[in-house]
Amino acid sequence: MKKHSARVAPLSSYSTQVLTCPISEGEDGSESHADTPGSETSGESRSYQTCTNTALKVLGGLLLVLCVSSSWVGTTQVVKLTFQSFSCPFFISWFSSNWNILFFPIYYSGHVVMTREKQTPIQKFRECSKLFGEDGMTLKLFVKRTAPFSILWTLTNYLYLLALKKLTATDVSALYCCHKAFVFLLSWIVLKDRFMGVRIVAAIMAITGIVMMAYADGFHGDSFVGVALAVGSASTSALYKVLFKMFLGSANLGEVAHFLSTMGFFNLIFISCVPLILYFTKVEHWGSLSSLPWGYLCGLAGLWLVFNILVHVGVVLTYPILISIGTLLSVPGNAAVDVLKHEVIFSVVRLAATCIICLGFLLLLLPEEWDSVTLRFLATIADKKSEEHGEELTESSIHTRSRSRANGTVSIPLA
């Protein structure tokens, strides 16, 4: 009996746990069943909120695409109008770059409106100046970090304006889209980004479009010089973006606004001597200050500032690919203005070159894992088709059996 009791005791304790577990599970299960409707509604509300946020983000992105495209088209067309009465491209570039000083005040105004956290402008400026280091911004870091980017910024704008003096707005905007291909090549070489065959094809298409654009009027005259200037502007823009990604890639919106305002100050302090040198050497000569077309200049600088704000803010608030699409849409926008207002007639070679460059630009927008995503999508479609085909076969077999039963036919199994 002692042996039997010794053997039974563990079993009884185990059976007690087994018997008590269903009761506790039943109680918990009743509570979970009671909470199931609430959890389902909360899950539905979360999914609905997620879908709503995604839809608002996409709609905001589409609106941003139109704003980016229209602001860039307006900037290019106002430049063409300004050249009719004031042909000083470097002065225009310098004057427009000075407006970058307004970046941080505009950002701070939006920050005060959108957030509950209240900081003085000086406190926020010091917080964003950590971009230059833990000690903040010093004179040495100010010159060291800002000078290369400010020079590249000025060269990009100046070469773009010079190209607009030689070519139509459509040609220049199409050639400027080649900067996306140059960004990929530089990122692949300098930043060691992932190699993608489709982007190499896009870069080749961009180079082909450039050659065709230069060949449209022969490799001589203003057309060839204009193409070279536009390609130079795209190259300096690509170098600016790659260096920005290398040194300031992890910067937030406030730090970017701080950096661009700092570039505006650098442009105002150090590059102001260049327009004066060009004025006294009569390379770019203008009359009195009162005779300058201030309306066109301020409108141009304002549109350029709006475009840059939309580009930098849009990358944070919505999908970056939409900003690139907005830049690409400036090509047909400028083409429509050139045809309707300036009555420009495009040759077949120029149209083909523009289309090739735009197609290469679109290929560059493909994500890095586009091939695997496409294969998964095609596999999903194939699985759905096979399932639908199997369901159709099942329904047809059931229908055949029902008809055979209705007609009185009986299937006799063979022994």
What is the full DSSP assignment across 335-391? HHHHHHTS-----HHHHHHHHHHHHHHHHHTS-TTHHHHHHHHHHHHHHHHHHHHHH
pLDDT of 263 reads 93
User: The tokens of 239 are what?
Assistant: 């170098």
Q: What letter represents residue 222's amino acid? A: D
Among 120, 18, 61, residue whose Cα is nearest residue 318: 61
Confidence of residue 200 (pLDDT cuts 50, 70, 90): confident
User: The tokens of 161 are what?
Assistant: 């304006």
The rounded distance, in Å, linking the Cα atoms of 308 and 300 is: 12
Which residue in this structure is represented by tokens 């290398």?
A: 246
For the four alpha carbons of 40, 46, 48 and 51, in that order, the dihedral sign comes to negative
- Domains of the chain: which residue ranges? 65-373
C-alpha dihedral (20, 26, 31, 33), degrees to nearest 10: 160
Which residue in this structure is represented by tokens 């010089």?
A: 225
Cβ distance 75 to 305 under 8 Å? no
DSSP 116: S
Confidence of residue 392 (pLDDT cuts 50, 70, 90): low
Q: 262-318: per-residue pLDDT in tens?
A: 999 999 999 999 999 999 998 888 878 888 999 999 999 999 999 999 988 877 777
The rounded distance, in Å, linking the Cα atoms of 275 and 85 is: 18
Among 108, 113, 83, 79, residue whose Cα is nearest residue 96: 79
Q: 332-341: per-residue pLDDT in tens?
A: 999 999 999 8
Q: What letter represents residue 330's amino acid? A: S
Q: 315-366: per-residue pLDDT in tens?
A: 777 777 888 888 899 999 999 999 998 888 888 888 898 999 999 888 888 8
Q: 244-272: per-residue pLDDT in tens?
A: 888 877 778 888 899 999 999 999 999 99
DSSP 289: G
Which residue in this structure is represented by tokens 């746990």?
A: 17
Cβ distance 178 to 233 under 8 Å? no
SS3 (DSSP) at 117: coil
Output phi, psi for 215, to 5 deg.
Answer: -80, -10
C-alpha dihedral (37, 39, 42, 43), degrees to nearest 10: -110
The rounded distance, in Å, linking the Cα atoms of 209 and 206 is: 5
Q: Which residues contact 142 (CB under 8 A, 6 or more apart)?
A: 132, 262, 266
Burial of 87 (0-12, 13-18, 19+ CB in 10 A): middle
Indicate whether 222 pLDDT > 80: no
Confidence of residue 42 (pLDDT cuts 50, 70, 90): low
Cβ distance 61 to 322 under 8 Å? yes
pLDDT of 236 reads 95
How would you label 352-384 residue by residue, b for 16+ Cβ within 10 Å and e otherwise?
Answer: bbbebbbebbebbbbeeeeeeeeeeeeeeeeee
